[in-house]
């Protein structure tokens, strides 16, 4: 393990971890304390729930209202939901309801969730006995990956397809495309379908198709995605149903999940890890989740918008209008922002991915500022992992993306471990931080996606074996 002196440890002066305030409130709550209960309902009646014990006094203090609003925000973007149910102090519940109104301070979140679920977002206060318990979707991989299957992975610059027969990949290919500039969703459909036809030529038949795509997917329908950025609103219905169209044409089961979930599923397939939260550092932050039973849950996992920092001067997210959200801490732009603050300069027009490479080169040259950039990200990660665990049942955190490659990824990983050992010793032995895994096959997520149609609803007591 790396040994850092106090002088080498990165700064926390401008970072106020959400988990610190949560700990303070919990410590002030007596045994049998009153509880603020938050439950979110999403598609098909799935529910995520969180209970926050409250102090005996000042249960509606500004700090509690602030943290409660941040918890609702986190749950919306980690789990998703069109209905927010609250039980607790009236003042706290009213403040949340005002914030998540169509014209409230969190109007972006309200409008976005209304678009995702196709209905008006509701925030209501209910008696505790009317708040439902958690009821999460649970899809488990079958023990045997049999039959003949196609898989695809969509990205902004390229996409991949593969053909799988009885758990063995027999064909894979990668294609360049420009989806985010195309107004007609037929462009996307025809390119994907032609590639699948090519892959299918290596099989005698096709039993199922699985896919991995950026953006938000609900019931195999795209609700928001960068690959459809140029599609006008009038044509978005066709874009939204592109995977339904594939199922109609191929007449086989088709199952699609977001790239983050499939990245976590790749870790399950290749490493045998369950209880995995994957965090991908890209142009923004993406997330994926496999629970401790080895199940996909269908949660949104849009961690880019999930709050992690409560500092009043936290970085601002231009899209959502909020501050302190994950995209500002676990992404290429975050690394670039920290590097500039550390005095590292770049040509004005140098793309972000090239800047990351330059920082990594300077780090290998022994540049202390470059080293501290990755240590700072590691500090953010170390304080954020306990916060993420409040909402995810997992012990493995897999950090992915070019930012996490090489020595930079090692520094991030080890700094996070040091923070856990120092500030959260009760978690340090339970939680593992994993970097990119070289053994994951080249086709990676396309292969993992091909297994998706073999997932089935999970019920307690059934065979829980996972693997090929």
Write down the pTM of the prediction.
0.88
State how far Cα 55 lies from the chain centre: 31
Cβ neighbours for 360, distance < 8 A, ≥ 6 positions apart: 370, 405, 406, 407, 408
Q: What local confidence, expressed as pLDDT, does residue 10 receive?
A: 66
Q: What local confidence, expressed as pLDDT, does residue 87 receive?
A: 98
Confidence at 142, pLDDT banded by 50, 70, 90: low
Q: How far is CA 181 from CA 35, 191, 226, 227, 300, in A?
A: 49, 14, 10, 8, 25
Q: What local confidence, expressed as pLDDT, does residue 467 receive?
A: 25
Confidence at 5, pLDDT banded by 50, 70, 90: low
Confidence at 436, pLDDT banded by 50, 70, 90: low
- Cβ atoms 262, 37 nearer than 8 A: no
Residue located via tokens 């009236």: 90
Q: What mean pLDDT, rounded, does the chain reach?
A: 89
Confidence at 299, pLDDT banded by 50, 70, 90: very high
CATH of domain 265-434: 3.30.420.40
- Rounded to the nearest 10 degrees, what angle do helices 62-78 and 107-117 cross at? 30
In three-state secondary structure terms, 438 is coil
Sequential DSSP letters for 5-21: -TTTSPP-TT--BHHHH
Confidence at 4, pLDDT banded by 50, 70, 90: low
- CA angle 85/90/94 to nearest 5° reads 65
* Residues above pLDDT 90, as percent of the chain: 72
Pick from 2, 12, 79: which is nearest to 393 by CA?
Answer: 79
Helix or strand run (H / E) with residue 195: helix 185-200
Pick from 133, 110, 117: which is nearest to 37 by CA?
Answer: 133
User: Which ranges in the chain are annotated with CATH 3.30.420.40?
Assistant: 139-264, 265-434
Q: What local confidence, expressed as pLDDT, does residue 78 receive?
A: 97
Measured distance CA(300)–CA(218) in Å, rounded: 8
- Give the mean model confidence (pLDDT) for residues 420-430: 94
Measured distance CA(111)–CA(82) in Å, rounded: 10
CATH topology of domain 139-264: Nucleotidyltransferase; domain 5 (3.30.420)
Could you tell me which residue, 440 or 276, shows the higher pLDDT? 276
Q: What local confidence, expressed as pLDDT, does residue 298 receive?
A: 87
Cβ neighbours for 181, distance < 8 A, ≥ 6 positions apart: 230
> What b/e readout covers 113-122, taking b as 16+ CB neighbours within 10 angstroms?
beebbeeebe
Point out the least confidently predicted range of 140-154, 165-179, 430-444. Answer: 430-444
Measured distance CA(199)–CA(165) in Å, rounded: 11
Confidence at 309, pLDDT banded by 50, 70, 90: very high
Strand locations in 194-258, DSSP E? 208-213, 216-218, 221-224, 254-258
Sequential DSSP letters for 66-118: HHHHHHHHHHHHHT--SEEEEES-HHHHHHHHHHTSTTSTTHHHHHHHHHHHT
Q: Report whether pLDDT(48) > 70.
A: yes
- Give the mean model confidence (pLDDT) for residues 328-344: 96
Measured distance CA(50)–CA(38) in Å, rounded: 5
Over the stretch 368-421, which tens digit does the pLDDT of each residue have? 999 999 999 999 999 999 999 999 999 999 888 888 888 899 999 999 999 999
Sequential DSSP letters for 124-184: EE--GGGSPPPB---EE--S---SEEEEEEE-SSEEEEEEEETTEEEEEEEEE--GGG-S-
Q: What local confidence, expressed as pLDDT, does residue 7 receive?
A: 52
Point out the least confidently predicted range of 75-79, 142-146, 309-313, 444-448. Answer: 142-146
State the maximum Cα–Cα separation within the chain, in Å, rounded to a whole number. Answer: 69
Q: How far is CA 399 from CA 4, 191, 382, 405, in A?
A: 21, 30, 12, 9
- Give the mean model confidence (pLDDT) for residues 7-32: 86
Helix or strand run (H / E) with residue 425: helix 425-428
* Residues above pLDDT 70, as percent of the chain: 92
Measured distance CA(291)–CA(48) in Å, rounded: 14
């Amino acid at each position: 393990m790396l040994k850092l002196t106090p002088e080498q440890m990165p700064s926390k002066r401008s970072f106020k971890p959400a988990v610190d305030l949560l700990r303070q409130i919990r410590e002030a709550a007596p045994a049998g304390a009153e509880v603020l209960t938050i439950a979110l309902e999403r598609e098909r009646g799935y529910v995520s729930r969180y209970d926050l014990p409250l102090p005996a006094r000042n249960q509606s203090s500004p700090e509690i209202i602030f943290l409660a609003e941040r918890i609702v925000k986190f749950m919306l973007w980690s789990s998703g939901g069109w209905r927010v149910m609250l039980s607790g102090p009236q003042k706290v519940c009213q403040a949340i309801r005002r914030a998540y109104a169509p014209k409230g301070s969190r109007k972006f979140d309200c409008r976005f969730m209304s678009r995702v679920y196709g209905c008006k977002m509701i925030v209501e206060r209910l008696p505790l006995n009317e708040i439902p318990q958690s009821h999460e979707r649970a899809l488990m991989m079958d023990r045997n990956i049999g039959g003949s299957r196609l898989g695809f992975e969509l990205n902004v610059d390229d996409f991949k397809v593969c053909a799988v027969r009885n758990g063995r990949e027999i064909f894979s290919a990668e294609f360049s495309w420009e989806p985010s500039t195309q107004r007609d969703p037929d462009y996307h459909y025809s390119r994907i379908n032609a590639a699948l036809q090519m892959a299918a030529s290596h099989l005698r038949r096709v039993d199922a198709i699985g896919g991995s795509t950026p953006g938000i997917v609900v019931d195999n329908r795209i609700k928001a995605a960068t690959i459809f950025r140029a599609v006008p609103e009038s044509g978005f219905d066709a874009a939204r149903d592109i995977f339904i169209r594939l199922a109609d044409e191929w007449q086989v089961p088709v199952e699609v999940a977001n790239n983050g979930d499939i990245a976590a599923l790749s870790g399950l397939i290749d490493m045998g890890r369950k209880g995995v939260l994957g965090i991908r550092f890209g142009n923004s932050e993406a997330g994926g989740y496999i629970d401790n039973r080895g199940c996909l849950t269908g949660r949104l996992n849009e961690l880019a918008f999930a709050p992690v920092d409560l500092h009043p001067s936290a970085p601002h997210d231009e899209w959502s209008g909020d501050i302190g959200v994950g995209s500002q801490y676990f992404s290429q732009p975050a690394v670039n922002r920290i590097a500039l603050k550390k005095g590292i300069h770049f040509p004005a027009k140098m793309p972000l991915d090239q800047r990351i490479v330059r920082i990594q080169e300077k780090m290998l040259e022994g540049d202390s500022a470059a080293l501290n950039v990755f240590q700072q990200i590691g500090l953010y990660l170390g304080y954020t992992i306990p916060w993420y665990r409040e909402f995810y049942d997992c012990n493995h955190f897999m950090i992915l993306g070019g930012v996490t490659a090489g020595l930079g990824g090692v520094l991030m990983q080890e700094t996070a471990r040091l923070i856990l050992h120092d500030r959260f010793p009760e978690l340090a032995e339970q939680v593992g931080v994993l970097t990119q895994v070289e053994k994951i096959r080249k086709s990676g997520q396309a292969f993992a996606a091909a297994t998706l149609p073999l997932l089935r609803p999970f019920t307690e007591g059934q065979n829980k074996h996972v693997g090929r």
